[in-house]
């Protein structure tokens, strides 16, 4: 299977783009929100100091008195109305939309939402933190919120619990809770987030586009290398199994093919014939006319052998002037005698080369599987022995193997 660089690049890069975009948006939201809450906390601290200066020590006695009072008594106190007047005037025009004042027991001494006066917040983590001198803020979304003199809908609110200090002793004397409307700020953060997402997508898309162009070129280069390597492997395999002179399969391929034929015939209860051929008089031509002429004679003989047999038969050059022929389905000597005679006739015809007519003949040994032998080594030996008997009998003839 070919390695598709473009496909793997897209499969890996697209999720990375999505993850980076989401992480960028998430990181920006968290960072911007934390900065906004921190700034609101700082602003609320400043406003709380101003509020403390206005309320203290004028309402010190009221806060001390409130310790053991119930909600009815606290609501009825004259100080509540006076505190409300100061608070409303102080935060008019600001983003603070609600104020609460707690004594150190956690009792709500004042709230701009009057119904909450007298409520106990002693177990609230924000109150506990502020009563110990720390500021605690958090951002929440409210679908309905009681602001000064009205109810607002769908608001993003930062609530801050802040310690109220005595202006002289610097001790915590009460806790103030301020609610700031940051809906517009949050909306701005989301708009910027969308811009961040859009910018990240555009930048990453441009980067991926450039990388994709490089990947395409690299992929094409890899494919060309892959195809060239495949072609080279095919050529190497061909050269490893092909005789350079005759372009017929060589001895190595013959040995493999013979074993494969035997295995196939064993599985399917079939047979085949092996013909071993050795040229007569070839050495004289090689010695008298040189190896160039000898190679031309071998190439022509190989082509004649190939043209004489069936397409399903295979011709091999297995030695210097030796050839082998595998004939599937022909499992008796009688079935190949006519082929052997045709081969003798074709090879004996003169071969024109270099201005001369050269004549060679061949001796053939025939061995049939499984009649003569059931293994490759014995079958070759029997065919070879039959071929030498044909030479001894006068050459340019054939002999069949003796049945073991």
Antiparallel, parallel or unpaired: β 361-369 and 398-400: parallel
Contacts of 394 by beta carbon, 8 Å cutoff, 6+ apart = none
pLDDT digits (tens, 9 = 90+) for 241-288: 899 899 999 999 999 999 999 999 999 999 999 999 999 989 888 888
- Of 36, 45, 324, the closest CA to residue 156 belongs to 36
Query: Residues 70, 321, 381, 384: which is the catalytic one?
Result: 321
Q: Positive or negative, the Cα torsion across 333, 337, 338, 344?
A: positive
- In this prediction, the residues of the chain whose per-residue pLDDT falls under 70 are 1-6, 403-404
Distance from the Cα of residue 89 to its chain's centroid? 64
How does DSSP assign 197-258, residue by residue?
Answer: HHHHHHHHHHHHHHHHHHHHHHHHHHHHHHHHHHHHHHHHHHHHHB-TTT-SB-HHHHHHHH
| Angle CA 359–365–367, to nearest 5 | 155
Q: Where are the domains of the chain?
A: 5-190, 251-400
Taking the C-alpha atoms of residue 64 and residue 139, their distance in angstroms, rounded to an integer, is 31
pLDDT computed for residue 403 by the predictor: 61
Q: Provide the sign of the torsion angle of the four alpha carbons 118, 119, 122, 124, taken in this order.
A: negative
Q: What is the pLDDT of residue 344?
A: 96
Task: Note the pLDDT of residue 3.
Answer: 54
380 and 396 in contact (C-beta within 8 Å)? no
Name the residue among 317, 394, 316, 397 with its Cα closest to residue 364.
397
287 catalytic? Reply is no
Does the domain at 5-190 match CATH 1.10.3720.10? Answer given as no
Q: Quick one: pLDDT at residue 321?
A: 93
Q: Residue 176 forms beta bridges with which residues? A: 101, 162
Q: Which CATH architecture has domain 251-400?
A: 2-Layer Sandwich (3.30)
Q: How many CA atoms lie within 13 A of 290 on its CB side?
A: 4
Strands of the sheet containing 172-181, edge to edge, are 108-111, 96-102, 172-181, 150-165, 136-147
In the numeric block, which tokens belong to residue 111? Answer: 């709230």
pLDDT at 4: 66
């Amino acid at each position: 299977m070919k390695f598709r660089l473009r496909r793997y690049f897209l499969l890996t890069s697209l999720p990375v783009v999505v993850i980076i975009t989401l992480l960028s948006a998430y990181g920006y939201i968290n960072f911007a929100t934390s900065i906004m809450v921190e700034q609101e906390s700082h602003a609320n601290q400043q406003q709380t100091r101003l509020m403390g200066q206005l309320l203290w020590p004028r309402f010190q006695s009221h806060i001390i008195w409130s310790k053991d009072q119930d909600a009815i008594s606290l609501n009825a106190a004259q100080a509540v109305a006076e505190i409300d007047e100061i608070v409303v005037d102080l935060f008019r025009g600001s983003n603070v939309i609600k104020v609460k004042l707690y004594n150190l027991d956690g009792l709500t001494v004042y709230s701009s939402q009057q119904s909450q006066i007298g409520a106990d917040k002693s177990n609230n983590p924000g109150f506990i933190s502020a009563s110990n001198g720390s500021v605690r803020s958090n951002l929440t979304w409210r679908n309905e919120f009681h602001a000064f003199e009205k109810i607002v809908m769908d608001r993003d609110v930062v609530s801050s619990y802040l310690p109220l200090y005595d202006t002289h002793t610097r001790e915590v004397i009460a806790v103030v809770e301020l609610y700031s409307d940051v809906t517009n700020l949050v909306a701005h953060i989301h708009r910027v987030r969308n811009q961040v997402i859009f910018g990240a997508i555009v930048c990453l898309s441009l980067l991926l586009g450039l990388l994709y162009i490089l990947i395409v070129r690299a992929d094409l280069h890899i494919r060309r290398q892959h195809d060239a390597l495949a072609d080279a492997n095919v050529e190497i395999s061909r050269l490893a199994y092909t005789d350079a002179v005759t372009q017929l399969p060589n001895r190595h391929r013959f040995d493999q093919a013979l074993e494969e034929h035997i295995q196939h015939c064993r599985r399917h209860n079939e047979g085949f014939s092996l013909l071993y051929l050795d040229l007569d008089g070839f050495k004289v031509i090689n010695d008298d006319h040189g190896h160039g002429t000898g190679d031309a004679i071998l190439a022509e003989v190989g082509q004649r052998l190939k043209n004489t047999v069936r397409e399903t038969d295979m011709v091999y050059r297995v030695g210097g002037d030796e050839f082998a022929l595998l004939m599937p389905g022909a499992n008796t000597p009688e079935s190949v005698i006519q082929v052997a005679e045709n081969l003798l006739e074709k090879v004996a015809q003169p071969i024109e080369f270099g201005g001369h007519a050269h004549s060679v003949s061949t001796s053939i040994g025939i061995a049939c599987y499984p009649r003569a032998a059931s293994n490759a080594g014995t079958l070759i030996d029997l065919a070879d022995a039959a071929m030498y008997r044909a030479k001894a009998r006068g050459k340019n003839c054939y002999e069949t193997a003796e049945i073991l």
